[in-house]
Structure formats: structure tokens, C-alpha cells
Amino acid sequence: MYSYSLLETSCHYLIQEKVEGPISMIKVNMDSDYCMFITRFGDTETTEWKKKQEPIHDILELLSDEKVKEWQKSYYSNEDAFYEDGEE
């Protein structure tokens, strides 16, 4: 079992918070003495505070800068599809 305190600021991770839970992609934006401010990427981007001691079942991967760029192309190009119909 891991915790948020192991994660580094400005890095993207694939994590699984619970044993049978979904895989989530997060970015650690900043940390304080007791908490981490993260962005969670799903259908939309959400930000939240997590206590450093909160458990993470598994840290699957620290994504490289190249993988993040590759993911961003896909993630943000899909976002444009929602706005094309309404802009006529």
C-alpha cells in the first residue's frame, strides 16, 4: 500500500486508489506540509486536495514527458469534438 506522500510535484501518474477501483491519471500540482493539490483527469479535469497519508493501492506508472504529450494530443482533441456542433 502506498500514499500520496510518495508522489512528486509536477509529475503525471497512473494510480489505482482501491484494490478493484478504476485506474486514474493524476498530476500533482503542489504540496504543503500535510496535503497534495492534484488534478484528476477523467471526462473532465477536477482538482482536489488529498492528505499525504491517504492510501493509494497501487502507483502503476510515473508517465514520461513524451507519454504525457502523446496523451494530451488525444485527450484535448476529444474535448474539441464536444464544441464543434454548437459553434455553427
Domain-located, residue 20: yes
Domain-located, residue 53: yes
- Please tell me the pTM assigned to this model: 0.82
Task: Count the domains in the chain.
Answer: 1
pLDDT (average), residues 8-29: 96
Q: What does the pLDDT read at residue 75?
A: 82
Domain-located, residue 27: yes
Q: What does the pLDDT read at residue 12?
A: 97
- Residue 78 confidence (pLDDT) above 70: no
- Residue 29 confidence (pLDDT) above 90: yes
Torsion sign across C-alpha atoms 9, 26, 56, 53: positive
Which residue type occupies 19? V
Residue numbers of the domain that contains 35: 2-63
pLDDT (average), residues 34-52: 96
How much is the CA Rg of the chain, to the nearest whole Å? 15
Please enumerate, as own/partner, the contacts of 79-84 that have beta carbons within 8 Å and a separation of 24 or more.
Answer: none
Domain-located, residue 54: yes
